[in-house]
Amino acid sequence: MTTRQRVLSGIQPSGKLTLGNYIGAMKNFVALQHEHDCFYMIVDLHAITVPQDPAALREQSEAVAALFVAAGLDPTQASIFMQSHVPAHAELGWLLTTMTYMGELERMTQFKDKSEGKEAVGAGLFVYPSLMAADILLYRSHLVPVGDDQKQHLELTRDLAGRFNHRYGETLVVPEPFIPKVGARIMSLDDASKKMSKSSPNAGSFITLLDTPDEIRKKISRAKTDLGRDVLFDVQNKPEVSNLMTIYAQCSGQTLEQIQATYEGQGYGAFKKDLAEVVVQALEPLQSKYKDIRASGEIHHILREGAERANTVAEVTLREVKEAMGFLPRGGH
C-alpha cells in the first residue's frame, strides 16, 4: 500500500493545451488522483507575466478547467481551482521573492527563453519561479507532476523550502518532482530539437487536445521524419521518429518495443497513418466530454468547491509561515 501524499501541479491558461501538456503532465494528474490528496490549478497569476487579453484569459481559463475534467480528473477526488481564487498564492509568492537571489532567477532557462530578444520584459516574468515555489509549498506538497521543462523550477522550489526551514525552523515540506519516464519531453513535429509548445508560430508543429481528426491527420502526415525508413527508437540518431513513437506509446498504452516490432520492415508511411488514428482515438472521448462540460456550465461550481478546499489548506500554511518569520499575528485575544 502506498501512503497518501499531497500532490500539487498547475497549467497555464495561455493558448490551447497540447499533446505535450497532456502526456507530460495531465496523464499523471489523473493517475495520481485516487491514491493521493491532489490539488490541480489553472495558474492565471502566472499567465499574466506576459500580456493577456482579458476576454481571451477568461475563455482560456474556463477551457483549461473543463479540459482537466474532460481528461479524467474527478472533482470529488481532486481539488480543481483557479490560482487567483486563493489569495495566499500571491502573498506567499511575495514572501518567497524576498528570499530568492537574483542570480538564481537569472539562471532559469524558461526566463531566458521567454525574455530573449524582447525589449520590455516584465518583472513578473523574472520572479515567476518564486510564485511557482509558493504554489507548491503552500500545500506542503510531496509530489509535483510536471514535464521535464519544469525540473529547474522544482530545484529552486526545493532550495527555497530548505532555506526557509534553515532560517525560521521546520515549516515547509521539500517536494519531489514526479516526471514520467517516457514522454517527459514531447518534441515539436517540425523540429525534434525543440519541445512541443503552444506558443510556436507554426501551428503544424503541435497537436492541441481540441484539434479535429482531420487536423490531427494532416499534422502527423506532415510531421518531419529522419532519413531512412526504419521505425526504430533511437533518440540520438532518429530523434523525429523516436518522438513520434513516444506519442504512439503514450496514446495507445503499447511499449516502444511492441511498436518497433509491429512496424518492422514497413517504413514510415504505415506507421504515421496508424499513429494519426491512435491519437484521434485517444482524444475522442476527451473531446466529447469537453463539449458536454462546457455546455453544462458545471465548471463554475467545480472551481468554487476546489477553491474552498484549497483555501482551507493554504491559509494554515501561510499563517504558520508568517508566524515563523516574525509577523505580528492579527490579534483577537
Catalytic residues: 114, 195, 198
Strand 78-82, strand 143-145: pairing: unpaired
Distance between CA atoms of 131 and 152, rounded to whole angstroms? 14
Distance between CA atoms of 330 and 123, rounded to whole angstroms? 30
How many residues in total does the chain contain?
A: 333
Which of 61/150 has CB closer to ligand TYM? Answer: 150
In whole angstroms, the minimum distance from the beta carbon of 8 to ligand TYM comes to 6
Which of 126/263 has CB closer to ligand TYM? Answer: 126
b/e code 108-135 from CB counts within 10 Å (16+ = b): beebeebeeeeeeeeeebbbbbbbbbbb
C-alpha cell read off for 315:
491559509
Which of 65/263 has CB closer to ligand TYM? Answer: 65
In whole angstroms, the minimum distance from the beta carbon of 328 to ligand TYM comes to 30
Nearest CA to 223 out of 262, 279, 183 is that of 279
In whole angstroms, the minimum distance from the beta carbon of 188 to ligand TYM comes to 8
DSSP state of 208: B
Strand 187-188, strand 191-195: pairing: antiparallel
Angle, CA of 69, 27 and 133, to the nearest 5°:
90
In whole angstroms, the minimum distance from the beta carbon of 157 to ligand TYM comes to 8
In whole angstroms, the minimum distance from the beta carbon of 196 to ligand TYM comes to 4
Which of 60/263 has CB closer to ligand TYM? Answer: 60
Distance between CA atoms of 12 and 9, rounded to whole angstroms? 10
Binding interface with ligand TYM (CB under 6 A): 8-12, 20-21, 23-25, 43, 46, 132, 135-136, 144, 146-147, 149-150, 153, 184-186, 195-196
Amino acid code (one letter) for 118: K
Which of 146/280 has CB closer to ligand TYM? Answer: 146
Angle between helices 267-296 and 54-70 (to 10 degrees): 110
Distance between CA atoms of 152 and 109, rounded to whole angstroms? 8
